[in-house]
Structure 1
Amino acid sequence: MVRLDENEISFPDPELYDGHEGVIAFGGDLSVERIWFAYQLGIFPWYNPDEEILWWCPDPRFVLFPDELKVSKSMRKILNKNLFTFTENKDFRGVISNCQAVSRKDQTGTWLSDELMESFIRLHEYGLAKSIEVWLDNELVGGFYGMQIGNVFCGESMFAKVSNASKAGFIHFVESNRENIDLIDCQSHTEHLESLGAGMIPKKEFLKILHKNNERR
């Protein structure tokens, strides 16, 4: 792994450097500029708050192509009932705060530190990070957030306070953005997203799509 210099915003080229189990660098800082630069290279931070910052570009990469979205019959019935309403960028802080607080299976604490959360909130204020909110009876019950890089959406984290809320929000987002999103980066495998059609592709293929997207911007 490469140690990053806090005074210089740079990363090893993830196309040429594999790192250790997907970790290609450590250290540096969580400035808005560094995080934004990292995502444009296909790199994201993921670490325990009491440890050094780790920067990842795993191989293979877990992604969803919008045309490969899978919606079960039971989930379609739930969506057709119109129980949930959906918004975009209405309550970014509420979404990311819930993502930080939600308890997850086989996980104690949270990977989302206060410092990282505040950096994402600033990225949102600059129009670089976005949130999708799911509402039930005017209460925020689910949602997710991530980075929008042209036609690639890099998902970060999601939460649900009621059954099917995050799934409904994700399906709504994908179906509403088929024309302007080529790829959704899910980063690491989850059964939840696999059931919706996400799958693994080689890192080189992911980076090729991301680089083409950057060239079009």
Structure 2
Amino acid sequence: MRQRPFVLPSDPHAPFPPAGSAMRDPDGLLAIGGDLSRPRLLNAYRHGIFPWFSAGQPPLWWSPDPRMVFPTDQVRLSTRFRRGLKRCAWRVRADTCFEQVITACARSPRPGQQGTWITSGMRQAYIDLHRQGDAHSVEVFEGDALVGGIYGVAIGRMFFGESMFSGRSGGSKVALAALASRLRAWGWPLIDAQVENDHLHSLGGALMPREDFLGQVARLVDLASPEGPWTDRFGVLDAVSLSQVSAP
């Protein structure tokens, strides 16, 4: 394990060091510097690496061990929550308001955090990825009001989740469950959730050793998948249909 993070060169196409060489303390810190250009970001995700840093810091690149993931057939909603969904009129779509979703994620308070890691530069980088067809959002609506969502990066048949938010109680849960439902139907087995927390565990998240995760990513990112916006492919999903998702 490295004693200090690798300093990235200015060339956005320069390779990252092997993810398995990341530091143990802090867990998963691999590299520092570089930029948030499309080539650099896609190269990072392809190798199980993601950026995470605060305003005023240079880009920090991470690959923690173990990794938090959601098998797409194991997202769980509580019995009480599923009962409420049976009376829910929410509808779920994809890629119709990506900028609203990432902005809402940036503004959502996080327990134990001051401010947001979704800086203006980070926000713009993922908006650019979305415009190139690499980043996607899943959005939950109550009428015309956006009440929840999730966004992340898709490469091949691997989805790298970045952040989610709730504008109404349970909005992020519906977004995650809807995303998992569609990905499972498309033959995508895994959602990267990056770093563990109790909330993700409660929804069916599981820890995967980094070596296993990197092996899965290497295989999945090379599988063919339709490119471009997900709006038509995803369609419209009624939240009530998610009431069949099993309880923990």
Give the shorter-chain TM-score range: over 0.9
**1:207 has 2:192 as partner:** no
Q: Cα distance, 1:50 vs. partner?
A: 0.9
Partner in structure 1 of residue 126 of structure 2: 120
Q: Cα distance, 1:43 vs. partner?
A: 0.4
Give the % identical residues. Answer: 36
Q: Which amino acid in structure 2 is aligned with residue 121 of structure 1? A: I
Unaligned runs of 5+ in 2: 225-248
Q: Cα distance, 1:185 vs. partner?
A: 0.3
Partner in structure 2 of residue 37 of structure 1: 43
TM-score by length of 2: 0.84
**1:132 has 2:123 as partner:** no
C-alpha deviations, 1:81-135, integer Å up to 9, x for none? 2321111000000000111111121211110111111010010001000001111
Q: Cα distance, 1:5 vs. partner?
A: 0.7
1:56-71 superposed matches below 5 A: 56-71=62-77
Q: Cα distance, 1:4 vs. partner?
A: 0.4
- 1:19–1:25 CA contact under 8 A, matched in 2: no
Partner in structure 1 of residue 19 of structure 2: 14
- 1:79–1:168 CA contact under 8 A, matched in 2: no
Q: Which amino acid in structure 1 is aligned with residue 169 of structure 2? A: S
Q: Cα RMSD over matched residues? A: 1.3
Q: How many residues get paired?
A: 216
Alignment partners' CA distance in 1, 2:175 and 2:223: 28
Alignment partners' CA distance in 1, 2:172 and 2:83: 15
Partner in structure 1 of residue 237 of structure 2: none
- The SS at the match of 1:215 is coil
Q: Which amino acid in structure 1 is aligned with residue 48 of structure 2? A: G
Unaligned runs of 5+ in 1: none
Alignment partners' CA distance in 2, 1:166 and 1:77: 17
TM-score by length of 1: 0.95
